[in-house]
Amino acid sequence: MRDLRGQVVLVTGAASGIGAAGAAELQRRGALPVLVDQDAAGLAAQARALTASGAKQPLTVTCDITSLAACENAVAAALARHGRLDMVWANAGMAAFGPLAHTDPAAWRRCIEVNVMGSFYTVRAALPAVQAARGYVCLTASVSTFAHPPMMSAYAASKAAVEAMANAWRIELAAHGVDVGVIHASWVRTPLVEEGELHPGFIRLRQTVPAPMRHAMTPQQAARRIVDGMAERKSRIWVPGWVRLLHALRALLHLPQAERALRQAAPELEALYLEVMATEGATASSYAPRELQRARERAEEGSQAGSGVTLTTSGSAPDSRSRQ
């Protein structure tokens, strides 16, 4: 296990959930985390939490990871503060929920933009500095990378793409001294999961999982496993460890016998989605609350731009406001 002391690590999605817990764990082990997120208030709160013990104020950068220019500005800010970048952790992500026939296409597309293009832009922007340090690239995938649940096709597709990118980049970058790892996480009690549980369809979906696999780790528990893997520059990080077995058996997960419970639940899942859609609309039924608010803000900004109002772009400065 490598010593993380003094290592500069850029972490996206660092205002909450696994990213926030991971940044805290990195700092506890002596690393210098650079906190990147779209949530400026959340970043400020996390920075205060990290300095409560007397540690040095970490660099925080609000950043729209769906903009390459904004990601490049975040990396530039990290280099201006620390002069180097040893690791990049493309952790930020979101989920969209709904059946093919009824899900909001904009929510489906946004999930791909954030999880796939956002991960690509994050790593692409950081690569020159990480390559100079012969460092480590880490990407957050999911059990949904290989176990593809109904109603979550966008999330499953995006996380499968994240794994595929990591596998390709691992081979490409080996000769440059850069290691690439991918995190396969099961249930972790993050805002993404907690907000998902506000939707009755998501609750029913979780009930199709065998009871022993429904347990959700805390972000802190997950962070310890993840940072252990980062310190060892592992190619795969399992959260928790039994996910390794599912990954090895991935070809069996979509046999008719393995899908039986999901197939039986699918009509009920669709009906629950339609119930919410009937009262709240397809957009509200497809997005979690935070992402719904951000979607409405993007729509408002688009409307203002169309009426001639000048807006500040998120790529204009390292600390610019973002949407992710």
Q: Which residues are catalytic?
A: 155
Spatial strand order in the sheet of 136-140: 59-62, 32-37, 8-12, 87-90, 136-140, 179-185, 236-239
Does residue 184 contact residue 162 with C-beta atoms inside 8 Å?
A: no
Token pair belonging to 110: 């946004």
Instruction: Mention every residue, 6+ apart, whose C-beta is less than 8 A from residue 4.
Output: 26, 29, 30, 31, 227, 230, 231
**Is residue 240 reached through a cis peptide bond, with omega within 30 degrees of 0 on the bond before it?**
yes
User: How many residues comprise the chain?
Assistant: 324
Strand runs labelled E in the chain: 8-12, 32-37, 59-62, 87-90, 136-140, 179-185, 236-239
DSSP string of 85-134, one letter each residue: --EEEE---------TTTS-HHHHHHHHIIIIIHHHHHHHHHHHHHHHTT
Cβ neighbour number for residue 110 with a 10 Å cutoff:
23
Using DSSP bridges, classify how beta strands 179-185 and 8-12 pair: parallel, antiparallel or unpaired.
Answer: unpaired
Please classify residue 302 by burial: count the beta carbons closer than 10 Å to its beta carbon, then call 0-12 exposed, 13-18 middle and 19+ buried. exposed
The CA-atom distances, in angstroms, between 6 and each of 2, 61, 229, 241 are 11, 19, 17, 28
Q: How many angstroms separate the CA atoms of 222 and 189, rounded?
A: 9
Instruction: Mention every residue, 6+ apart, whose C-beta is less than 8 A from residue 275.
Output: 200
